[in-house]
Amino acid sequence: ILLGLFIFADIPDLPMIVGATIIIGSGLYALYRERVVGRRKIVAESTGPSMVPDGI
Domain boundaries along the sequence of the chain = 11-46
Q: What is the pLDDT of residue 50?
A: 62
DSSP state of 54: S
Question: Which pLDDT tens digit goes with each residue over 13-45?
Answer: 999 999 999 999 999 999 999 988 877 666 555
Residue type, 55: G
pLDDT at residue number 44: 56
**Number of other residues whose CB lies within 10 A of the CB of residue 21:** 10
> What is the value of pTM for the model shown?
0.59
pLDDT for res 43: 58
Residue (of 5, 28, 1, 27) closest to 16 by Cα position: 1
